[in-house]
Amino acid sequence: MRVAIYARISRVTEATTSIARQIQHCEELCRQRGWTVAEVYADEGVSGTIDPDDRPRMGAMLQDLSQYNAIVFYKIDRLARSTVAFADLMKRCQKAKVSLTSVTEPMDLSSPIGRAMAEIIAVFARLERDMIRERSLDARRTLLSEGKFVGGRFPFGITTAAHPSGKGRVLVRDKEAIPIIKSMANKVVNEGYSATQVAKWLNDHKVLTSRQRGATAKKTKAADTYWRGNAVRVLLRNPQLIGHQALPDGRVRFGEDGMPLQVFPPAMTLTEWNALQAALDRMDGKKRTTRHDSHWLQPFLRCDVCNHAMTNTVTHGRVAFKCARPNEQRHKPAPYIRLDELEPWVLTELQTKFGSMAITENVWVGGSNHTAERNQVEATIQRLRDDRGLGLYDGEEDEAQFRSQMKALIARRGVLASLPDEPGHWEAVDTGRTVADDIREGSAASVLESAGFVIRVAPSGGGRNVPVGTRATIRIEDPVAAELEAAEREEAAWEALEGAGA
C-alpha cells in the first residue's frame, strides 16, 4: 500500500510538534501497518488557514493524489483549521479513493470507525456552512439597511468611497467619469455617432470599462476587456446618469412623494438626458440593413457548436465564414468554411434534396366578427320596445310599422346568431413553383428565407480540406426548438467543463 506523509508547521513554539517529529510519528504508524511510504510532503512556515491547493507542498501532493492509497498526518489541524475545509478535503480524497489516517486521532477512512467519524465531521461541516451563510445574509441585510455597498459590479459613472461612519463602503458618483459620459452623449446627440462608433472611440482612447474601473476601485487586478456597442447603449439608457436608481426589472425607484428617488448627483441635466434618449430612440428605430459586402448566404448560417450567427471574413484573399462570437467568448474548435466551397455545395444540395419541394406564400385571411352588428340589432329592438311602451306609436299605421320593423330585426338577429365569429389568420398558399424553379431563376436566397432553411456549420476536426458535406447541413428549423437545443448544448458543455475540473 503506497502512502504519502504530510506535515505542516507555521512557527515553532514550546507547544508545537516539529516537522521532524510529525514525520517520525507518521513513519512509525506506517511501519506498524506494513505500509510503504512513497513520498513525504512538508510545509514549514505555512499557516493552516491557507487553502490546501495554495500551500507549496500540499498543493503538489494533491496534484499527485492518484499515485497513493492513503495520506498519513499527525493531527487533523495539520491539514485544515476549519471543519468545512477538512470536510472538503476529505470529500476530494474519497472521490480519488485515497484514505486519510491520523496518528493521534480516530480518523482512518480505511476502517469502519474512521468512516463513521468522517460522516460526523461532514454533518458538522454542513452545520458550519449553514451558520456561515446565515451570518453572511444577516451582515448583508445590515449593510443594506445602513446604505452600505455589499459587493458586486457597479455601472460606469459610479464608484465606491468610505462610508461616513468610517466602517464599510458606499456607492457614490464617480466624478472622473462625468466628462467621459458627457463626451459620449455629445457624440450621439450632436455628432450622430452610433453606439458601436462610441465604443470604438472609447477603446481608441483607452477608456477603462465599468468592470476595469470597478476592479481598480476594489484594488484588484483589472479585467482584460473592452467597450462594445451594446454596453454603451445600456449605459446611456441607465437612469443613474441623472441620479436615479434603476431596479432589477428596469423601473426607476420612487420615493414617498411619488417622484423618482435621487440617489446620486446627476452626471447630466434633465434636458441633456431627454435629448440623449430621443437620439437613442431614433438610432434604435432605424431599420438595420445588411452590410453591403455581406454574402447572400450569411443570414442563414449558424455555428453548430453555439447556435451563434456566422460572419464573413477575408483570409489570404479568400472570402470565408466563421463564428461571429466575440474573441473572448469564442470556443475552440470554431467552425470556418470558405465561400468558394460552401456556395456550390448549398446550391447542389438544395436542388438534389429539396428541388421538388413546393414553394408556398403566407397570405392573410381576414376573419369575421359580427358582435358589433348583433349589439346594434339588440339595441334597436330594445329602443323600439321602449318607444312603444311610452305610447309613441299612435294608430293602426304606426302599429303596423312597429310590427314590420320588429319582424325584420328579429329575423336579422336570428341570422346573426347562427353566423360564427372567426379570427383572421395566415394561410400557406401554394405558388405553383418549386425550390428547383426558384434556384434556376437565381432566387436561392428567397428560397432559404421563405422555407425557413438554416445552414449549420460544424468545426472541420481535421483541417480545411475536409469535405463540406461532412461539416455542413441544411435544415428547416423551428426557431423555439433551435433555441432550446442551443441551451441544452451549452448546459452540456458547462457540465463537461465542471466534470473536468472536479
pLDDT in tens, 34-90: 999 999 999 888 887 788 888 889 989 998 888 999 999 888 778 877 777 777 888
From residue 410, give the alpha-carbon distance in Å to each of 371, 375, 396, 403. 16, 13, 21, 10
User: Cell digits for 441?
Assistant: 431563376
End residue of a domain, out of 253, 285, 317: 285
Same domain for 232 and 201: yes
Same domain for 442 and 346: yes
User: Cell digits for 377?
Assistant: 340589432
Same domain for 167 and 82: no
The pLDDT of 102-121, averaged and rounded, is: 73
Same domain for 309 and 408: no
The enclosing domain of 71 has a CATH number of 3.40.50.1390
SS3 456: strand
Same domain for 127 and 28: yes
User: Cell digits for 112?
Assistant: 469502519
Do the beta carbons of residue 118 and residue 105 sit within 8 Å? no
Same domain for 307 and 272: no
pLDDT of 251 > 50? The answer is: yes
User: pLDDT digit string (tens) for 186-245?
Assistant: 999 999 999 989 999 998 988 888 777 665 445 545 555 778 888 898 889 888 888 887
Same domain for 334 and 259: no
Per the model's pLDDT, the better-predicted residue between 248 and 115 turns out to be: 115
Query: Is 139 inside any structural domain?
Result: no
407 confidence band (pLDDT: 50, 70, 90): very high
Return the CA Rg of the chain.
37
User: Cell digits for 162?
Assistant: 468610505
The enclosing domain of 243 has a CATH number of 3.90.1750.20
From residue 82, give the alpha-carbon distance in Å to each of 40, 104, 118, 132, 396. 23, 18, 14, 12, 106
Query: Is 397 inside any structural domain?
Result: yes
**Phi/psi of residue 394, nearest 5 degrees:** -125, 120
Query: Is 137 inside any structural domain?
Result: no
Weakest mean pLDDT among 113-122, 139-148, 321-330, 353-362: 139-148
Query: Is 153 inside any structural domain?
Result: no
Per the model's pLDDT, the better-predicted residue between 397 and 140 turns out to be: 397
> Residue 425: beta bridge partners?
365
pLDDT of 256 > 80? The answer is: no
- Determine the Cα–Cα distance for residues 90 and 99; give it in Å rounded to an integer: 8
**Phi/psi of residue 442, nearest 5 degrees:** 80, 25
Same domain for 234 and 97: no
Same domain for 399 and 467: no
pLDDT of 107 > 60? The answer is: yes
If one counts the domains in the chain, the total is: 4
The pLDDT of 337-347, averaged and rounded, is: 89
- Determine the Cα–Cα distance for residues 191 and 189; give it in Å rounded to an integer: 6
Query: Is 343 inside any structural domain?
Result: yes
Examine residue 52 and say whether the peptide bond preceding it is cis (omega within 30 degrees of 0).
no
- Determine the Cα–Cα distance for residues 161 and 228; give it in Å rounded to an integer: 27
Query: Is 292 inside any structural domain?
Result: no
Same domain for 487 and 435: yes
Query: Is 442 inside any structural domain?
Result: yes
State the pLDDT at residue 464: 60
Same domain for 228 and 203: yes
Do the beta carbons of residue 206 and residue 222 sit within 8 Å? no
pLDDT of 29 > 70? The answer is: yes
Do the beta carbons of residue 301 and residue 310 sit within 8 Å? yes
User: Cell digits for 429?
Assistant: 398558399
Where are the extended beta strands (E) located within 45-95? 70-73
End residue of a domain, out of 96, 131, 166: 131
What is the DSSP code string of 163-200? -TTSSSEEEEE-GGGHHHHHHHHHHHHTS---HHHHHH
> Residue 313: beta bridge partners?
320
Same domain for 80 and 195: no
70: number of CA atoms within 13 Å, CB side? 25
Query: Is 402 inside any structural domain?
Result: yes
Per the model's pLDDT, the better-predicted residue between 353 and 455 turns out to be: 455
State the pLDDT at residue 356: 82
User: pLDDT digit string (tens) for 412-471?
Assistant: 999 988 888 776 666 777 777 787 877 777 777 777 776 678 899 988 876 667 888 888
Residue span of the structural domain in which 343 resides: 298-362+429-501
- Determine the Cα–Cα distance for residues 365 and 426; give it in Å rounded to an integer: 6
